[in-house]
Structure 1
């Protein structure tokens, strides 16, 4: 039962890994411009951003979509 989500491009990718990739790729400043959330713009950190994203589905969705777009480049 390892392939429960074969059509999900984010299957088995951790939110922390997605965020770390985006921060490395864009940096906090550009990431904060692309996705306007406080945890990216005011004293950003992986820990505070993950906490916010885990509680906020709309923000997590934006981060995941940006990740997918970035990986396609």
Structure 2
């Protein structure tokens, strides 16, 4: 297990477990952190490129497990880097 696997949020929960983090919170964080164009370049889905919104993204991600997994992984990487004081991935 690496140090990044043990990164914890402000509540002491492991970031990789997404304890109590809702998909809407993940999307709001990622949009604030990266913006829609960067999200689209990292995860190629139309809801990030064509008329993007949190609502349309949530609808798509809730129905598409592979895309949701990629979004959750990006969130884990970004939050871990933030907690450990590293530049955003």
Q: Which residue of 2 aligns with 1:59?
A: 67
Unaligned runs of 5+ in 2: 1-12, 82-89
TM-score by length of 1: 0.88
Unaligned runs of 5+ in 1: 1-5
Offset at residue 64 of structure 1 (A)? 0.1
Offset at residue 70 of structure 1 (A)? 0.3
Q: CA separation in 2, counterparts of 1:33 and 1:47?
A: 19
Q: CA separation in 1, counterparts of 2:29 and 2:40?
A: 14
Q: CA separation in 2, counterparts of 1:35 and 1:11?
A: 23
TM-score by length of 2: 0.73
What value does the CA root-mean-square deviation take over the aligned residues? 1.4
Q: Which residue of 2 aligns with 1:17?
A: 25
